[in-house]
Chain A
């Protein structure tokens, strides 16, 4: 009966209840929508970081990671063999790396030269998909080099043109080689693009003397959740090597992802606080209006605990009627935008790309976050209910009835 009273009380001031319920719905919608955008951004950043940039795990010579000198290399055959045997590994790329310089009539620019096996690199980070002009490295041409559109613009390089790269070999001596530009590429990460050029591993090995060796093994797994177990096993297997997960290779990505989480929590918290003020205000008004009635209930023998529960029920019902509407609206909005994507490129230009984000965002709304938000809304309503409920408790029947 307390529940019935609470429910019917809700409809006594219809306008007010509808207003509050719709602000709950609106708050819920806004909260979930912003969260979905954050998660969408985070998810796309994560996928880019793993699938197109760093892979899940990278293996280096421990001193290579510190000094970036070509002399610190690892044996090719044993790594190749062992990585091939791991069922969790989807693909891996064994790279030779060195620093170098590209010089043209337009000036000179420091670069990082990646010696790769085109097939392995493609399987690991899908580089061919980012080729915007010309061909990928799996070309018939001799000594091909793939450079970014950004570098090409800056140095006035053209597909099919020749370019001389000056490189440091294993003994830190300068050496140089002539390459033919087979194509241009462009990823979502502008700063990385400017720095990296790609050549075939054999070509680079010959120039700097790293045949049968490698500097970097990038390992892509089938599943994200296999990361930690595989990581720990590799660590045990190769004690002398530096083995890192993407979080360690790119701590800024990990930081950005966790700060997205924090932002969405802060955002939700602000909405909930605003919501609870609305609820408290409404219910205090309701209690005030019904003072004589509550007084009669207490006079005829309804105890304080029941009065308390009646008010809490009403408050929670108020929130509960609004929440599903907001949830549904958010779900529809997010599902639709997940399909079409939100193109922020128009508003923000290359800003997002310069920070390594795709400029089209696909919002996502994981179920457990929806449930969590629902719980938070209910919890907020229940906490907000305390104030008006205590107010009702403190009414003295004699005074309430005289009003």
Chain B
């Protein structure tokens, strides 16, 4: 199979000199193209830390991360920013969108950073916002959107850069269950139809059940790595 993410014995120690916190402890993680994987664990188990390291936002104390065969651990900061821009889509738990930009502009912005031509940007923004069901909310600013709608715009933005994969850190944490389900439906559809690879963290049971692969983190260690209980490939 085609490996997108290869994380090799990743460890992260906070405050190594005072009271060390082993947030992530010797974790291996391997993701193939087309995966729809969940990183599961209670609060404080190291999910955010691990996702940040995989996304090149944080540097591990030990180990290294390969994305599509490129070792990103140790890339100079500016190269790393550029690498993120072109290879990784991010959906965060909150504060995803720029409040002064409309939904359309939030999605377009990332392609502007990539210096994509105007025609392509406009077409793709429309396509993506339609895919997340917000074609009639394109010119509305985030404050006028519900939490679920905001996260859908964030998903559209994450895909706009045509990344290798999308990292989503507890994307449903602030959503009611209906919005959470809707968001998962969209992510799953994008995974199925566009073949986009997703790695999301959660401790929400309903979300875990949708994953086709589940890695469980406890105290910074992977305790289980197994296929999800309800594979949706049969849908």
Query: What is the interface of chain A, defined by CB distance below 8 A to chain B?
Result: 1, 4-5, 8-9, 12, 292-293, 295-304, 306, 397-398, 401-402
Among A295, A299, A303, A397, find the residue whose CB has the most chain B CB atoms closer than 10 A: A299
Say yes or no: B95 contacts A9, CB within 8 Å: no
Say yes or no: B96 contacts A296, CB within 8 Å: yes
Say yes or no: A398 contacts B52, CB within 8 Å: yes
Distance of A295 Cα from B161 Cα, bound (Å): 18
Distance of A380 Cα from B120 Cα, bound (Å): 40
Say yes or no: B161 contacts A398, CB within 8 Å: no
Asked if B234 is at the interface of the complex by the 8 Å CB criterion, the answer is no
Say yes or no: B52 contacts A8, CB within 8 Å: no
Give A292's nearest chain B residue, CB to CB: B95
Enumerate chain B residues within 8 angstroms of A292, measured Cβ to Cβ: 94-95
Say yes or no: B78 contacts A303, CB within 8 Å: yes
Say yes or no: A397 contacts B100, CB within 8 Å: no
| 8 CB < 8 A contacts A-B | A5-B100, A8-B101, A292-B94, A296-B92, A298-B81, A299-B57, A299-B92, A397-B57
Distance of A292 Cα from B93 Cα, bound (Å): 11
Query: Which segment of B37-45, B82-90, B128-136 sits at the interface?
Result: B82-90
| Interface membership of chain B positions 69-106, coded 1 if the CB is closer than 8 angstroms to chain A and 0 otherwise | 00000000110011011100010101111111100010
Question: A5-B100, A398-B52 are contacts. A296–B78 as well, Cβ < 8 Å?
Answer: no
| A323 CB, min distance to chain B CBs, angstroms | 23
Say yes or no: B78 contacts A293, CB within 8 Å: no
Distance of A298 Cα from B109 Cα, bound (Å): 12
Asked if B145 is at the interface of the complex by the 8 Å CB criterion, the answer is no
Question: A1-B105, A5-B98 are contacts. A300–B90 as well, Cβ < 8 Å?
Answer: yes
Among B52, B81, B101, B157, find the residue whose CB has the most chain A CB atoms closer than 10 A: B81
| A169 CB, min distance to chain B CBs, angstroms | 88
| B7 CB, min distance to chain A CBs, angstroms | 17
How many chain B residues have a CB neighbour from A under 8 Å?
32
Say yes or no: B57 contacts A398, CB within 8 Å: yes
| B70 CB, min distance to chain A CBs, angstroms | 16
Question: A306-B113, A398-B57 are contacts. A299–B84 as well, Cβ < 8 Å?
Answer: yes
Give A297's nearest chain B residue, CB to CB: B98
Among A297, A300, A306, find the residue whose CB has the most chain B CB atoms closer than 10 A: A300
Enumerate chain A residues within 8 angstroms of B110, measured Cβ to Cβ: 300-301
Partner pick for B95 among A5, A8, A296, A304, CB 8 A cutoff: A296
Partner pick for B85 among A1, A9, A301, A397, CB 8 A cutoff: A301
Enumerate chain B residues within 8 angstroms of A398, measured Cβ to Cβ: 52, 57-58
Partner pick for A301 among B94, B101, B105, B161, CB 8 A cutoff: B161
Enumerate chain B residues within 8 angstroms of A297, measured Cβ to Cβ: 98
Distance of A12 Cα from B96 Cα, bound (Å): 17
- Beyond A302-B85, A401-B95, 15 additional contacts (C-beta under 8 Å) are A1-B101, A1-B108, A292-B94, A293-B95, A296-B95, A296-B96, A299-B55, A299-B57, A300-B85, A300-B157, A301-B85, A301-B114, A304-B78, A306-B113, A398-B58
Question: A296-B92, A296-B95 are contacts. A303–B81 as well, Cβ < 8 Å?
Answer: yes
Enumerate chain A residues within 8 angstroms of B99, measured Cβ to Cβ: 12, 293
Enumerate chain B residues within 8 angstroms of A8, measured Cβ to Cβ: 100-101
Among A295, A296, A304, find the residue whose CB has the most chain B CB atoms closer than 10 A: A296
Say yes or no: A301 contacts B92, CB within 8 Å: no
Enumerate chain B residues within 8 angstroms of A298, measured Cβ to Cβ: 81
Enumerate chain A residues within 8 angstroms of B3, measured Cβ to Cβ: none
| B44 CB, min distance to chain A CBs, angstroms | 13
Enumerate chain B residues within 8 angstroms of A295, measured Cβ to Cβ: 95
Say yes or no: A304 contacts B105, CB within 8 Å: no
Give A306's nearest chain B residue, CB to CB: B113
| A392 CB, min distance to chain B CBs, angstroms | 14
Say yes or no: B101 contacts A5, CB within 8 Å: yes
| A251 CB, min distance to chain B CBs, angstroms | 59
Among B48, B78, B82, B92, find the residue whose CB has the most chain A CB atoms closer than 10 A: B92
Asked if B21 is at the interface of the complex by the 8 Å CB criterion, the answer is no
Question: A8-B100, A301-B84 are contacts. A1–B112 as well, Cβ < 8 Å?
Answer: yes
| B81 CB, min distance to chain A CBs, angstroms | 5
Give B101's nearest chain A residue, CB to CB: A5
Give A305's nearest chain B residue, CB to CB: B78
Enumerate chain A residues within 8 angstroms of B81, measured Cβ to Cβ: 298, 301-304
| B108 CB, min distance to chain A CBs, angstroms | 8
| A196 CB, min distance to chain B CBs, angstroms | 71
Distance of A397 Cα from B88 Cα, bound (Å): 15
Say yes or no: A301 contacts B86, CB within 8 Å: yes
| B106 CB, min distance to chain A CBs, angstroms | 10
Say yes or no: A9 contacts B100, CB within 8 Å: yes
Partner pick for B82 among A9, A293, A303, CB 8 A cutoff: A303
Say yes or no: A299 contacts B98, CB within 8 Å: no
| B53 CB, min distance to chain A CBs, angstroms | 9
Distance of A303 Cα from B114 Cα, bound (Å): 11
| B206 CB, min distance to chain A CBs, angstroms | 25
